[in-house]
């Protein structure tokens, strides 16, 4: 029976390269001269440190721009609450999402079943396996998932006949 997997994977080396490029740009930009603003990446987590809220928003835009240039969608970023550091400076963690969490997987399965397509969807860890008798039904599921307005980007792997 034909099948495919719905996954959400992020290429971590590309994220690391985007953060490195953003750090280089911060060091060269005139509006960041004399500031202690930094972007670091370690353990699937990006740490933003800025002098104030305005510079933090500029770091967000800078990071998102460099990720887009590298072909990584902004939906993989999970911004945590910004916290005050010493003085007026601000620190914020940004988690990079890997895999589909349980709640989102259940929502996707529920939406596909509500569509009444002749497919079976199984949750396998942090990915979904979709099987059907006809290839056309699988392609309909892929199109349906692309049309869903999800924040987290999805990829469709392992298509087998």
- Round to whole Å and give the CA distance between 31 and 119: 54
Q: What would the two tokens of residue 117 be?
A: 């397509």
Backbone angles phi and psi of 117, in degrees to 5: -85, 155
**What is the reported pLDDT for 20?**
93
What is the value of pTM for the model shown?
0.80
**What is the reported pLDDT for 119?**
87
Question: Residue 50, class by beta-carbon neighbours within 10 Å (0-12 exposed, 13-18 middle, 19+ buried)?
Answer: buried
At 72-128, the pLDDT tens digits run: 988 889 889 988 877 888 999 999 988 888 888 888 888 888 888 888 888 888 888
- Round to whole Å and give the CA distance between 59 and 156: 31
Say if residue 66's pLDDT is above 80: yes
Domains and CATH numbers, the chain: 3-8+99-160 (3.30.70.860), 12-96 (3.30.70.990)
At 18-47, the pLDDT tens digits run: 999 999 998 888 888 888 888 999 888 999
**Angle between helix 12-28 and 53-69 (nearest 10):** 130
């Amino acid at each position: 029976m034909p099948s495919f997997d719905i996954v959400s994977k992020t290429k971590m080396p590309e994220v690391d390269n985007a953060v490195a490029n953003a750090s280089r740009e911060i060091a060269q930009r005139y509006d960041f001269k004399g500031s202690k603003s930094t972007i670091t990446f370690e353990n699937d987590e990006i740490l933003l440190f800025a002098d104030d809220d305005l510079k933090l928003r500029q770091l967000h835009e800078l990071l998102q721009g460099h990720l887009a240039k590298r072909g990584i969608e902004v939906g993989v970023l999970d911004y945590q609450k910004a916290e005050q550091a010493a003085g007026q400076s601000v620190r914020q963690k940004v988690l990079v999402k890997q895999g589909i969490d349980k709640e989102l997987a259940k929502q996707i399965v529920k939406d596909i079943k509500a569509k009444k397509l002749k497919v079976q969807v199984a949750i396998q860890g942090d990915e979904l396996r979709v099987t059907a008798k006809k290839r056309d039904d699988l392609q309909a599921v892929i199109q349906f998932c692309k049309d869903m307005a999800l924040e987290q980007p999805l990829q469709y792997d392992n298509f087998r006949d």
